Chain A
Amino acid sequence: MTATTSKAPVAGGAPPRLAALRQFARDFAGRRAAMAGLAILVALIILALAAPLFIHASDLDVVNAPGQPLSPPSARFWLGTDYAGRSIVPLLIWGTRPSLAIALIATALTMIVGSIIGLLAGHYGGISSRVLMAITDWFIALPTLPLAIALAAVLGQGDASITIAIAVTSWPGTARLIRAQTLAVEARPFIERAKALGARDSQLVGRHVLPNVMPFVLVSATLTVSGAIISEVTLEFLGLGNPTEVSWGAMINQAFFQGAVTRGAWWYILPPGIAIVIVALAFTMMGRAVENILNPRMARRP
């Protein structure tokens, strides 16, 4: 019994959908990896939102930093100091904010673009749909990083250009998935009934197809976020991020290019990377769980 199969094809009928949602929540709560991922994320989001309460601008200021540059962990600086002598701990916590925000916004953009193209290509057949899918396949085949670098470089340093570059390179996977699900939903008899009753395209897509493909948008979103975080920190490491901002990618960039390697300053290099891996893993664990719940055939394959 899954969310999709238990869902009765009643348009706009809240109770069956609510029941399906409850069932989904029960399934999700029953999975250790999924709950661990969720717990990590909730903790990090609370930390990110609460950061301004206990981190002051002076903690992040390069000028008048309290410590010696690149000094190892001590009682005063738990994770040592960075190239300017700032304590690593507040930098690490503050870095959660832009890192999560960019990844989530880029994922939202990816979902919007990917879903619209997937729905259009799935709902309207014919030449235009084939052209759309050919473009999608072309983007899938191309290596993502050179394209993202090219876009971000032309748009100029900054969070907005990184976000756009990630969205432009990651929508095709979502578009493909949503198109396939749209085709599957539209092959079901209730769509034929709706058509016979005279539903317009917008009604078909908006009231019947979209609610039924939404779970797959969710799957795609959770799996996209971890990729988006990796792309984001990669672009920031290459120097395409906002140069004045404290983010995990920028921290590794500064560590690498300001001599942390020759100094052997592992306390500067390890923490932001570990934070990235934890967030990416948390989203991957949740995404795989959601995928398994919605598509039990996948569960047998690891």
Chain B
Amino acid sequence: MSSASAPLSAQSLSALEAPPSGGASGARDFAHYLGTKLAAALISFVMLLVVGFIIFSLMPSNPVEALTRGRPTSAKQLAFLTKELGLNQPIWERFWHYVANTLQGHLGYSFQFEQPVSTLIAQRLWPTILLMGSATIVSVLLGMQLGIHSGWRPGSLLDRISTGSAITLWSVPTFWLGIILLVFGSEGFGPIPPLFPAGGMSTPGTVGGFAPAHILDVARHLVLPCLTLVLVVFAQYQMVMRSSMIDEAGNPYLLTARAKGLRDAEVRRRHVVPNAMLPSVTLIFLQVGTLISGTITVETVFSWPGLGYLTYQALEIPDLQLLEGTFIIFSGSVIVCNLLADLLYRALDPRVRRT
């Protein structure tokens, strides 16, 4: 929470203190900014590879045995794998092969699914993006609305209720919330009939593609997992929006706006909200990490055929190469999103450009 908003406020503060520079150097400034951020992201990615290598290649006492767990393997196959994985080579050489393979998209082979890990990840990527994307849209809309209204009148009933429920939802394990929604949504409770399917992404036996009936079917399956993720994530947007509304409400330009006769709601909508929106907008990218942690358990609960459920399926065996693949993809996408958040913040906030 603090890690997400702290760098931004520090950035904007230093931007305010910096003297304005000429426009001619703007392009060079941007190139410098981009270069620094790209280099930082690259270093993060190298560190990710090092940590992935340590966890998955150095920590297991016998990687070949760990890889083939859940499948009968002959001694010949084991010897072949040992050679194939380069386990008889020095560590530096192994690390080098590992980096080269990962960069080329060779993430290993899943013995459980009998498919390359990269193929599996490509198959499961879109359901996860659909789930995370829809959850993001709903939680941004909901969280911002609540944040705008509770921040405009801090201490009001709405503020106390929404802040209180945000803190409570903080203490609720995501998967448990998902199971509760699953029980009541798909089994019904008392007079309420079962409204939603129990899991998966579509009803088995239906035709796929973009037929309207199929889209509706997927949407019906999406409701409960999406709702679970929204309940976990929206509070962040609400709290950030609330505090930037409170910060913004102390500014003298509001007095001018009111003096010229604007109604309270209009002052809020036309003057305060656009200025207070910046931190929440960049938060969208910084939230990807939280969403990923949520999506692993939510997809497991709802058997949603995405990367999170794939992670769980890898855990059951455990299928370490598959697990490593999802670990690299999840963490790598967070690094990319942090980079995007930095760039977006600069594009949206002119004050940062002058640093």
A residues neighboring B (CB under 8 Å): 134-135, 138, 140-147, 149-151, 153-155, 173, 226, 230, 233-234, 237-240, 252, 255-256, 261-262, 264, 266, 269-270, 273, 276-277, 280-281, 284, 301-302
Contact = CB atoms under 8 A, between A and B. Distances in A.
Interface stretch (B76-84, B169-177, B207-215, B262-270): B169-177
B55 interface: yes
Contact of A239 (B3, B316, B335): B316
A155 B59 contact: yes
B96 to A, nearest CB: 21
Contact of A237 (B175, B318, B320): B175
Given A143-B330, A143-B334, A273-B180, A302 B163 contact: yes
Given A150-B55, A301-B243, A237 B297 contact: yes
Given A138-B44, A284-B170, 10 more contacts: A135-B47, A145-B296, A147-B331, A150-B323, A154-B60, A154-B320, A234-B174, A239-B315, A261-B187, A270-B180
A154 B331 contact: no
B116 interface: no
Interface string B55-67: 1100110000010
Contacts of B3: 140-141, 173
Contacts of A150: 52, 55-56, 323-324, 327
Contacts of A226: 171
Given A142-B289, A234-B297, A269-B180, A149 B187 contact: no
B128 interface: no
Interface in B218-275: 243
A141, A144, A240: most-surrounded residue (chain B CB, <10 A): A141
A109 B235 CA distance: 29
A262 B167 contact: no
Nearest to B291: A143
B257 to A, nearest CB: 25
A269 B183 CA distance: 9
Contacts of A261: 179, 182-183, 186-187, 198
A237 B182 CA distance: 16
A256 B180 CA distance: 10
A154 B56 contact: yes
Nearest to A237: B175
B293 interface: yes
Contacts, number: 135
B329 to A, nearest CB: 9
B175 A234 contact: yes
A233 B335 contact: no
Given A146-B296, A237-B173, A154 B59 contact: yes
13 contacts: A142-B289, A142-B331, A142-B334, A143-B288, A143-B293, A144-B289, A149-B311, A149-B323, A150-B323, A153-B323, A226-B171, A234-B297, A269-B180
B338 A141 contact: yes
Given A262-B198, A276-B176, A153 B320 contact: yes
Given A153-B320, A154-B60, A264-B183, A146 B311 contact: yes
Contacts of B320: 153-154
A145 B296 CA distance: 8
B326 interface: yes
B59 A281 contact: no
B296 to A, nearest CB: 6
Interface in B155-193: 163, 167-168, 170-176, 179-180, 182-183, 186-187, 189
Contact of B171 (A155, A281, A301): A281
A273 B312 CA distance: 20
B315 A280 contact: no
A273 B315 CA distance: 23
B301 interface: yes
B55 A151 contact: yes
Nearest to A143: B289
Contacts of A284: 167, 170-171
Given A142-B334, A151-B55, A238 B171 contact: no
Which 6 pairs between the two chains have the least Cβ-Cβ distance?
A145-B293, A280-B171, A143-B289, A273-B176, A146-B330, A143-B292
B173 A233 contact: yes
Contact of A146 (B170, B171, B293): B293
B326 A238 contact: no
Contacts of B324: 150
Which of A144, A252, A261, A276 has most B Cβ within 10 Å?
Answer: A261
Nearest to B328: A146
Nearest to A264: B187
Nearest to A152: B315
A35 B290 CA distance: 31
Contacts of A149: 296, 311, 315, 323, 327
A145 B327 contact: no
Interface string B306-347: 000001100110101001101100110011001000000000
A273 B173 contact: yes
B40 to A, nearest CB: 9
B300 interface: yes
A134 B289 CA distance: 18
Contacts of A142: 48, 289, 331, 334
A230 B55 CA distance: 23
Given A146-B331, A149-B323, A238 B297 contact: yes
